Structure 1
Amino acid sequence: MNATVSTPPLTIRRLEAVEDAQIEQLAQVLLDCVAGGASVGFMQPLAPEKARAFWRRIAADVSTGARALLVAEDAQGIVGTVHLVLDQPDNQPHRADLSKMLVHRRARRQGLGAALMRAAEDLARDCGKTLVVLDTATGGEAERLYTRLGWTPVGVIPGFALWPEGGACGTTLFYRAI
């Protein structure tokens, strides 16, 4: 995905390098999602510095090509993101892991999640991948989105993770041949 995708007033683009200002905006998206109850690997309350540290680690992987990062922006900045883990074991060069599909609550219900997913699939193809896998909290909005977009659920692992406010949640595994 070399071209920028626009769905006014939103733009989705790949970041080849991540600057400090972008790390701050990505951290704000992550903080908002966790505060809103999204099970994305962090517990409430999520400290801003912990969110920034996470994105600095992702930025390091982006700089080496181990990950490909997409951001969705509106007039106020980054409102959504998703990334692909491209660096896979030797016996899985055809696969990418889709990770951290996040949409700020102020930008939801506008088709942004679906647009990010389509852009991620296109990017995976552009990177030579033919299979993409992901996991998500069972029963959530993301699970419904992935199903609606044609991803195939493989199964549920009960009690796999915790909701950010506490309490166990299941995780549904999905794949998509592209």
Structure 2
Amino acid sequence: MTLRFVLDPELTPELREAIVALWVDVTNAGGAVGFVPPVTAADVRRTADPTFAGIAEGPDRLLLGYAGDRLVAALIFCDNRFDLKAHWCVLKRVMVHPDIQGHGYGLALMREAERLGRELGREALHVTLRDGLGLDRFYRRLGYREIGRLPGALRVAPGDDRDEILMWLDLTTPAQAAR
């Protein structure tokens, strides 16, 4: 099954709850999307509500992926809110439901983000990752390159500080544009 993508859907109360549920499921399965498991919907809503405001009121953009009618993937194009950085954006909360991981949906989501990034006039995409989960290998296969690290920036538990890995995809190079 392929994913059907929707950019900038209407953020109805039902959709907000579906996104929060996805976020909870991804986090509780070990996904690095801003929390450490276990989390509840109430925990996630504290971050989700201001995130939704940035989408509903702009300038952030929401990309959702559906398998049939089921929401299974999401990411946010976060505007830098700074004119000197208007040519690129940050991808945040990149999520694929744990029940369907390993079937190419993460790849499809990121390829759609890359396509839309170009369509939206962005010259690059930036993503930050929690070290120790092997996520950097996934992004490298997509053409992202590591541009830096913030050592020990993420405290996931007492005595367990992880690097935050900064990765970058140049959307202007011929090699990237040809993929």
Q: TM > 0.5 between the two?
A: yes
Q: Structure 1: which 5+ residue stretches go unaligned?
A: 1-7
| Distance in structure 2 (CA, Å) of the matches to 1:131 and 1:10 | 24
Q: Say if 1:138 and 1:169, in contact at 8 Å, map to a contact too.
A: yes
Taking CA–CA contacts closer than 8 Å with sequence separation of 6 or more, which of the two structures ends up with the larger relative contact order?
A: 1
Match of 2:119 in 1: 126
Match of 2:87 in 1: 94
Is residue 71 of structure 1 aligned with residue 55 of structure 2?
A: no
What is the TM-score of this pair, normalised by structure 2? 0.85
| Distance in structure 1 (CA, Å) of the matches to 2:167 and 2:109 | 16
Counting aligned pairs with the same residue, the percent is: 24
Amino acid at match of 1:110: H
Match of 2:163 in 1: 170
Match of 1:36 in 2: 29
Indicate the SS of the match to 2:114. Answer: helix
What is the TM-score of this pair, normalised by structure 1? 0.86
| Distance in structure 2 (CA, Å) of the matches to 1:166 and 1:15 | 40
Change (3 A) 1:127 1:137: same
Runs of 4+ off more than 6 Å:
none
Match of 1:47 in 2: 40
Match of 1:58 in 2: 51
Match of 1:143 in 2: 136
| Distance in structure 2 (CA, Å) of the matches to 1:145 and 1:66 | 28
Once the two structures are TM-superposed, the CA of residue 154 in structure 1 deviates from its matched residue by 1.1
Give deviations 1:33-57, integer Å, cap 9, x for gaps: 2112223222333121232343332
Aligned length: 171
Once the two structures are TM-superposed, the CA of residue 105 in structure 1 deviates from its matched residue by 0.6
Indicate the SS of the match to 1:116. Answer: helix
Q: CA RMSD in A?
A: 2.0
Indicate the SS of the match to 1:91. Answer: helix
Q: Structure 2: which 5+ residue stretches go unaligned?
A: 172-179
Match of 2:13 in 1: 20
Q: Say if 1:34 and 1:164, in contact at 8 Å, map to a contact too.
A: no
Is residue 104 of structure 1 aligned with residue 61 of structure 2?
A: no
